[in-house]
Amino acid sequence: MPTNTHPLAAAARAASVPIVGDIELFAQARAALPPHRVVGITGTNGKSTTTALIHHLLDTAGVPARMGGNIGLPILAQAPLPEGGVYVLELSSYQIDLTQTLDCDVAVLLNVTPDHLDRYAGFEDYAASKARLFAMQSPRHRAVIGTGDAASAAIAQGFAHRGETITTIAPGTPLDQSRWPSLQGPHNAQNALAAIVVAEALGLDRAAIEAGLETFNGLPHRMERVATLGGVTWIDDSKATNPESAAPALAAFPRVHWILGGRAKGDDLDACAPHFGNVVRAYTIGEAGPRFAALLRDRVPVDEAETLEHAVRIAAAEARRGEVVLLSPAAASFDQFRDYEHRGTVFRTAVEALA
């Protein structure tokens, strides 16, 4: 329910009736739970991967942990943790809007870029929603903030008075990702750095953290390695439903056969343009196919494949050993598929049919 426009929300506010969500109910129930800690992760992009990675690091280290929230696992549906456990919560701006008392032991903001603006008066209100995660914290608790965009940097500056309890992650921080096969690319460098800072704040030693980074398998449809056939690697990044989320995948590989298209969320691919030099060939599909082909044609070779299955067959014929075929659509899926998960499943099925 969009709380900025729905008449029921307006009526509740007029009657001074609080509107709360499941995360607030969890926050109110914490006092009755065995002693525990909570990590909250938000951001426009990368929060699901970072949430899953932090949970995996804890699990690998033998720390009892539960993962929930926006990642699709309702936290109220899960059994309480024993004493010493850690709840790892992915938090959307919507969930933060409906939460007033969640005091995270560690709160993480990865980035803030324009999204969901139909639910806010403007970008500033959207960014302010993300910042509330830190406003709810006790000053002694840890804050971890990526500063790769202006809005996130401004939020970090706004909480700079907290001194040593705030850690900022600057873009381009050097990191050796060579031993972490599911954490490739500059965006995953930030995700991994955030997870490392959180794990250290929770008391994990470096050996346990490294073991978790090496064994993390990633999430479905987020730069997921589907197969390697004849030396060609096939990557499912179907969750990349806008150019901003597709750009990091293009940056991660030096020679890419790029499958893109669907129902476009905008008229350009500007966010991806810095990485066109990595694209060997593009294959466009769906409603946005003709538009995306026109945008790319002067920059990279393009095939208008129309369907995902056809794109896979063409790419299989074109790709050479050492190259990557990447489904990173930069568009929504609803023109040809139920959702991004269905699109990723169709991609996997088409790739497996090549074997």
Describe the crossing of helices 123-135 and 150-158 by its angle, rounded to 10 degrees. Answer: 40
Which of these is catalytic: 36, 55, 70, 242? 70
Query: How many other CB atoms are found less than 10 A from the CB of residue 270?
Result: 12
Q: What are phi and psi of 68, to 5 degrees?
A: -165, -175
- Residue 130 among the catalytic residues: no
Distance of alpha carbon 137 from alpha carbon 131, whole angstroms = 11
Distance of alpha carbon 213 from alpha carbon 143, whole angstroms = 21
Which of these is catalytic: 116, 265, 310, 342? 116
- Residue 265 among the catalytic residues: no
Run of H or E residues at 233: strand 232-236
Cα–Cα separations (whole angstroms), residue 117 to 145, 256, 271, 331: 22, 32, 18, 17
Distance of alpha carbon 58 from alpha carbon 296, whole angstroms = 43
- Rounded to 5 degrees, what angle do the CA atoms 103, 105, 110 make? 95
End-to-end CA distance of the chain: 45
- Residue 239 among the catalytic residues: no
Which of these is catalytic: 47, 141, 187, 275? 47
Run of H or E residues at 41: strand 36-42
* Residues near 26 by beta carbon (within 8 Å), at least 6 away in sequence: 75, 76, 87, 89, 102
Among all chains, which residue has been given the structure tokens 């990590």? 39
Q: What are phi and psi of 121, to 5 degrees?
A: -65, -25
Distance of alpha carbon 2 from alpha carbon 20, whole angstroms = 13
Q: Which residues are catalytic?
A: 47, 70, 116
